[in-house]
């Protein structure tokens, strides 16, 4: 089991074509775990799933989407909006 510090979780909004964080098309988070961070992306089911997106992004450079670090509050706002839209 990995130890984590939830207070230091970093969130990244995935954006396309010069969009803004508020118009994010996806979310990735980096959870500080030991011995190395755990990265997770929000899936189509609106649950967190393991991903290597950040590792690939920083290793390979820009991919099909850009990302920008956002606050936990904005991440929660985006998730709430997507969940509300799914409920319709």
HSE on the CB side for 83, CA within 13 Å? 9
Q: Residue 11 to residues 39, 69, 80, 87: CA-CA distances in angstroms?
A: 10, 6, 15, 24
> pLDDT value at position 18?
80
> pLDDT value at position 61?
61
- Say if residues 51 and 28 touch (Cβ distance below 8 Å): yes
| Average pLDDT, 10 consecutive residues per value, the chain (88 residues) | 64 89 94 92 95 79 74 97 90
pTM of the model: 0.82
The C-alpha atoms of residue 76 and residue 79 are separated, in whole angstroms, by 5
């Amino acid at each position: 089991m990995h130890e984590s510090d939830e207070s230091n979780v970093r969130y990244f909004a995935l954006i396309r074509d010069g969009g803004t964080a508020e118009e994010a098309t996806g979310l990735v988070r980096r959870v500080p775990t030991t011995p190395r961070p755990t990265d997770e992306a929000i899936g189509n089911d609106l649950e967190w799933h393991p991903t290597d997106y950040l590792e690939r992004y920083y290793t390979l450079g820009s991919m099909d989407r850009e990302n920008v670090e956002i606050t936990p509050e904005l991440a929660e706002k985006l998730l709430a909006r997507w969940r509300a839209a799914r409920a319709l």
